[in-house]
Amino acid sequence: MRRIPIIAGNWKMHTTVESAEELCRGVQERVEDVEGVEKVVCPPFPFLTLAAELLKGSSLKVGAQNAHWAEKGAYTGEVSMPMLQGLVEFVIIGHSERRAYFCETDETANKKLKAVLAAGLRPIFCVGETEAEREGGQTEAVLIRQVREGLRDVELPLGFAIAYEPVWAIGTGKAASGPMANEAVGLIRSQVAALFGEERGQSLRVLYGGSVTPENIAEFIAEPEIDGALVGGACLKADSFASIIEQSARISAGK
């Protein structure tokens, strides 16, 4: 089954109004005509309207980095899915930084995931083990738990996206090797197939995230199970993010 890769840039808590506009324009200028890959930028909440306006009608899509599961309510500082409708197409759910710093759990990630789908938006659902879990031989158990609990009672659409982000590789400069990431992604795919059927498993797009750069992206995209990347620091410069997109499109076309 041909899976269209996704390259998503997670800006995290970076950029200002000026640099956000410059980054949107710079990326669009470089990759507007690149085909065969979905291209997504995920700015901080204050700049989503700006990004949506700048990229309207372009081949780049906009995503949010997080959202709350409730449609509305007394949740000071939170953003609901209805607030994002019309601004974004994608929403990142369950990122390891949300789990580590903001007490997010498999249960809350599951609630957010259901809310994303109910709102007609497209989730990028994140899973991944910590360094201690990998060194303790728990990678498989952790990934199975996160997939099964995160996707519990979810009506999974074809082409659903999961990002495999080993926590020890995020922002550390220590990327996993291509074969190591491919093995973990294969496990994730097999779990989805077991839960939702072979068609869903084969259509599932699993991205790799964790210290992705223009220098190592080819190693990951060339692996048969990996369908793109969730990029952190390297997406904050238009040239480096564009290079990742261009390489991914070229390599994926030859798979």
Nearest by Cα to 232 from 216, 251, 246, 253: 216
Choose the catalytic residue: 38, 95, 104, 225. 95
Cα separation, 138 vs 21, in Å, equals 42
**β partners of residue 88:** 85
Choose the catalytic residue: 38, 97, 104, 165. 165
> 165 catalytic, yes or no?
yes
Alpha helices in 62-177 (DSSP H): 81-84, 96-101, 106-118, 131-135, 139-150
3-state SS, residue 179: helix
Q: Which helix (H) or strand (E) holds 49?
A: helix 48-55
> 95 catalytic, yes or no?
yes
Contacts of 187 (CB under 8 A, 6+ apart): 140, 143, 144
Cα separation, 62 vs 16, in Å, equals 17
3-state SS, residue 61: strand
**β partners of residue 206:** 162
Cα separation, 225 vs 187, in Å, equals 10
Please list the active-site residues: 95, 165
